[in-house]
Structure 1
Amino acid sequence: MEGIFTISLDFELHWGVFDKRNRQEREACYRNTLQLIPRMLQLFAEKEVHVTWATVGSMFAQDQRQWELLKPAIEPDYTTERYSAYRWAAQHALPQQYHWAHFAPDEIQSILQYPGQELGTHTFSHYYCLEQQQEPRAFEADLQAAQRAAALFNTRLTSLVFPRNQFNPAYLKTCYEQGITSIRSNPVSWYWSPVSNTGSSLIRKVVRTADAYVQVGSNRTSYPLSSISIIPGEPLQLPASRFLRPWRSKYRFANKWRLRRLCQEIHTAAVRKECYHLWWHPENFGDHPEENMEGLRILLEQYQKCKKKYGMISWNMGEYATRLLGQSQQIPNHRHADATC
């Protein structure tokens, strides 16, 4: 088997930071992000790169009225109430004037029209799987709501990325029961291990940032396809290799180091015939769209060079499940309510 290049995107708009950032202050970033989606799709198609768009299910709605119909009856009761998207929405509302911060049905439809682009889930509410809460049925209800939202677009979600990388093995069985056959797990380095929102120390953040530019952790960011275990009744766990950090105006020279490091890692994965899994948020491109798009083009051109020289191929997350699971286990037919919102 040749090397495999995979991209997964955490597409979330304000749902990803409602507990941290001011909605109005992020308007330019979110509007830029939405305008970049068609350009990114065209670039992925041009370079023949397959991508999983792990999208917050709330963004599938046309407006607040439809969102109210889609949302689950059972909500998480986080000990820290500000982590609840539902409480936030009740306090701030989701009016049409802020459509750009919460909903992206046109962009979602566009994703589905491009070959190799998979629509995945980032849960319906940007659900936190490592935060303390007492309602055991809330996560199942959240995924059911995400599937209802996807049904509006005549599609089925089979790949999931845990919000804020709060990977929790205790949730894998529920994921599988709701039709999820592949999830993104965290890089193996200690500074990427799953933690709650309050568990991310300054040293972890500093080391993660430094490692994007120079080697701090392991020099093995890719992994053999054979290392992905098939566990009956659970989704495949696909480790992330590297987070694509956005372009920074203060660190122009460091930006080149970052891209050079990524290109080297893609090349190494191709030579070793291993999997390389790159991820980021589309919103990361929103503050400096042109510079970030140019960086992405450089990375995708590196993939094309490796494809030509070493036969490297590109899979989205769902394609791992399609090819590895095969007939080895029956993928469940999950149940969800008729989506007639």
Structure 2
Amino acid sequence: MQGIFTISLDFELHWGVLDKRDRQAREACYKNTLRAVPQMLELFAKYDVHVTWATVGSLFADNEQEWKTLLPAVEPNFAEEKHSAYIWAQKNGLQSQYRWAHFAPEEVAMIMKYPGQELASHTFSHYYCLEQQSEKMAFDADLKAAVKAAKKFNAPMRSLVFPRNQINPQCIKTCYENGILAVRTNPSGWYWKPVADGGATWLRRAFRTADAYIQVGGVRTSYPLSDIKVIPGEPLRLPASRFLRPWSPQSELANKMRLRRSCQEIRIAAKRNEVYHLWWHPENFGDYPEQNLQSLEVVLQQYKKCKEMYGMTSWNMGEYVDHFLGKQTESREVRKAEKISQ
């Protein structure tokens, strides 16, 4: 099997930082992000790169009124209110003048029109699986709300990315129960281990930052396809390889070092016939869209070279499901249809 290049994106706008950022202060970033979506799609089409767009389900709504019709039956009661999108919305509102921060149905529809692009789940409310809360059915209800919201786009939610990479075993099982067949997991290094908000030590942060520029901890970023295991009753776990850090005006040398490291890793994965899984947030491109899109094209050009030289191919997360679970998926869908008809 040839090397595989995968990209997954965490598309969330303000839902992803309700507890950390001021909405109005991020207006330019979010508007730039929405303008960058079609530009990214054109680049992915140009280089024939398949991408999973893990999208917060709330973005599927057209406005606050529609959003309220999609709310889950059970809401989480987080120990810290700042983690609840619903409490935030009650206090701050989702008025039409802030549509650019909360809703993006036009961009979502656009994603669906491009070949190789997979619309996937980033939960409905940017749900945090490692934050303390006691509503046992809240995550299940959140996923059901995300599936309901995606029906307007006729998009099955087969893949999922956990917000802030907060992963726990029970949530993984709940994903499978709701039709999720692939989830992105963290890289193997100890400093990528999932933690709750505020749980990252200074040493962990230092290692993660350094890892963007140089090899640290002896962690390999690519892996054989055979490392992905089929576990009954669970979705496939697809480890990430690298977070594509955004362009920074502070140091052109640092920007070049980050890009060079990612390009080298893609080439190594291609030579070894391994998987390389890159991820970022579209919002990461919002502050300096032109420079970030240029950086992205450098990465995609590297993939093109590896495709020509080593036969590397591109898969979105759903295509791993097709490869590993194709027949099982078909049988499961038949059983599901039969159950509904009864």
Question: What interval of TM-score do these two structures reach, taking the shorter chain for normalisation?
Answer: over 0.9
Instruction: State how far apart, in whole Å, the 1-side matches of 2:276 and 2:40 are.
Output: 19
Q: Secondary structure at the match of 2:188?
A: coil
The code of the aligned residue for 2:114 comes to Y
Q: How does 1:102-141 map to 2 (within 5 A)?
A: 102-141=102-141
Q: Which runs of 5+ in 2 are unaligned?
A: 338-342
Does 2:247 match 1:221?
no
Instruction: State how far apart, in whole Å, the 2-side matches of 1:207 and 1:334 are.
Output: 45
Query: Which stretch of the first structure deviates more once superposed, 22-31 or 205-214?
Result: 205-214
Q: Secondary structure at the match of 1:277?
A: strand
Instruction: State how far apart, in whole Å, the 2-side matches of 1:91 and 1:321 are.
Output: 40
Measured after TM superposition, the shift of residue 334 of structure 1 is 6.6
Stretches of 4+ moved more than 4 A in 1? 332-335
Q: For residue 78 of structure 1, what is the aligned residue in structure 2? A: 78
Q: For residue 179 of structure 1, what is the aligned residue in structure 2? A: 179
Instruction: State how far apart, in whole Å, the 1-side matches of 2:282 and 2:86 are.
Output: 23
Instruction: State how far apart, in whole Å, the 2-side matches of 1:232 and 1:88 are.
Output: 38
Q: Which runs of 5+ in 1 are unaligned?
A: 336-341
Q: Secondary structure at the match of 1:326?
A: helix
Instruction: State how far apart, in whole Å, the 2-side matches of 1:308 and 1:263 are.
Output: 15
More helix by share: 2
Measured after TM superposition, the shift of residue 66 of structure 1 is 0.3
The code of the aligned residue for 1:167 comes to I
Q: For residue 277 of structure 2, what is the aligned residue in structure 1? A: 277
The code of the aligned residue for 2:319 comes to E
- TM-score w.r.t. the length of structure 2 is 0.96
Once the two structures are superposed, residues 71-117 of structure 1 have per-residue CA deviations (whole angstroms, 9 ceiling, x without a partner) of 11210011111100000000000000000000000000000000000
Q: For residue 152 of structure 1, what is the aligned residue in structure 2? A: 152
Q: Secondary structure at the match of 2:327?
A: coil
Q: How does 1:297-336 map to 2 (within 5 A)?
A: 297-328=297-328, 330-331=331-332
Instruction: State how far apart, in whole Å, the 2-side matches of 1:328 and 1:31 are.
Output: 41
Once the two structures are superposed, residues 263-311 of structure 1 have per-residue CA deviations (whole angstroms, 9 ceiling, x without a partner) of 0000000000000000000000000111100000000000000000000
- Of all paired residues, the percent bearing the same amino acid is 62
Does 2:252 match 1:252?
yes
Q: For residue 65 of structure 1, what is the aligned residue in structure 2? A: 65
Instruction: State how far apart, in whole Å, the 1-side matches of 2:328 and 2:101 are.
Output: 42
Instruction: State how far apart, in whole Å, the 1-side matches of 2:211 and 2:280 are.
Output: 15
Q: Residue 147 of structure 1 contacts residue 157 of structure 1 at CA under 8 Å; is this kept in 2? A: yes
Measured after TM superposition, the shift of residue 327 of structure 1 is 2.1
- TM-score w.r.t. the length of structure 1 is 0.96
Q: Secondary structure at the match of 2:40?
A: helix
Q: Secondary structure at the match of 1:71?
A: coil
Measured after TM superposition, the shift of residue 322 of structure 1 is 0.8
Aligned length: 336
Q: Secondary structure at the match of 2:39?
A: helix
